[in-house]
């Protein structure tokens, strides 16, 4: 019963928060933000342990992989346009990946985090399943990496559009690259709200970033940690 309640309750809460965002379309009311906050609040108020909630939440987590694959649909639809800029996409994604890796690592060291937490933070800008595998490979904590991934995705979705507006960045390719390289799947979903081209570029950047992070994280962890 608790498994079914967690599963259905999470879906209903997300739907309600999505309706709220339609009525009040401001960044802080993004469904991923409000539904996450509400679920945490309900768990605290009811004294429900995380592992008990995840008996049902795990059913949703298994859909994460197919959901990420589904983000390839806009990439396929825009492929004729994007293949002309493939080297640009790869180079920009590599730059974004390196900035994400080193900025996260050195900020964690600066704030005095221990080595295990730094290793867990290193793959924060790639999608959760890959980030957890990388964390396990470099002796980090996979569940903690998933939390960092969520934080990166949510913060990028909330503050990304504001940052683009402040910096007067209007080109759809630039916007998509930023979301995909920094905020993975959640950022790509947000980019799709801005336009199909932004979503396609973000999906490509997310894919490139996952490949580059998988290749770069082990040697960076070995050399600097």
Regarding whether 51 and 84 lie in a shared domain, the answer is: no
Regarding whether 217 and 134 lie in a shared domain, the answer is: yes
Predicted pLDDT at 219: 92
Predicted model pTM: 0.78
Regarding whether 177 and 96 lie in a shared domain, the answer is: yes
Do 184 and 203 contact (CB within 8 A), yes or no?
no
Regarding whether 113 and 90 lie in a shared domain, the answer is: yes
CA distance 94 to 144: 24
Predicted pLDDT at 153: 86
Q: Which domain holds residue 101?
A: 64-224
Identify the DSSP state of 27: G
CA distance 218 to 201: 27
Mean of all residue pLDDT scores within the chain: 85
Regarding whether 161 and 76 lie in a shared domain, the answer is: yes
Predicted confidence (pLDDT) per residue in 30-39, tens digit: 888 888 889 8
Mean pLDDT value across residues 10-17:
90
Predicted confidence (pLDDT) per residue in 18-32, tens digit: 898 888 887 778 888
Residue 103 pLDDT grade (very low, low, confident, very high; cuts 50, 70, 90):
confident
Considering its fold, how many domains does the chain have in total?
2
The dihedral through the CA atoms of 79, 81, 82, 87 has a sign that is positive
CA distance 159 to 200: 20
Greater confidence, 164 or 65? 164
Which of 165, 117, 138 has the alpha carbon at shortest distance from 223?
A: 138
Regarding whether 135 and 196 lie in a shared domain, the answer is: yes
Do 125 and 94 contact (CB within 8 A), yes or no?
no
Side-chain-facing half-sphere of 55: CA atoms under 13 Å: 10
Predicted pLDDT at 1: 63
Regarding whether 86 and 27 lie in a shared domain, the answer is: no
């Amino acid at each position: 019963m608790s498994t079914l309640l967690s599963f259905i309750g999470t879906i209903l809460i997300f739907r309600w928060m999505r309706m709220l965002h339609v009525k009040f379309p401001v960044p802080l009311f993004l469904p991923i933000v409000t539904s996450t906050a509400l679920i945490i609040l309900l768990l605290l108020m009811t004294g429900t342990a995380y592992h008990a909630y995840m008996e049902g939440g795990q059913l949703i987590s298994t859909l994460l992989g197919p959901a990420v694959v589904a983000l390839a649909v806009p990439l396929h639809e825009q492929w004729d346009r994007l293949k002309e800029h493939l080297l640009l996409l790869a180079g920009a994604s590599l730059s974004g990946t390196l900035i994400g890796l080193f900025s996260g690592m050195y900020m964690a060291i600066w704030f005095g985090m221990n080595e295990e937490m730094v290793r867990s933070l290193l793959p924060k800008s790639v999608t959760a399943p890959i980030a957890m595998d990388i964390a396990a490979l470099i002796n980090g904590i996979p569940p903690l990496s998933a939390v960092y991934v969520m934080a990166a995705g949510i913060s990028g979705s909330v503050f990304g559009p504001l940052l683009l507006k402040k910096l007067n960045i209007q080109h759809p390719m630039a916007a998509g690259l930023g979301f995909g390289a920094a905020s993975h799947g959640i950022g790509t979903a947000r980019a799709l709200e801005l336009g199909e081209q932004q979503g396609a570029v973000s999906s490509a950047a997310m894919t490139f970033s996952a490949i580059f992070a998988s290749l770069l994280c082990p040697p960076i962890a070995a050399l600097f940690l």
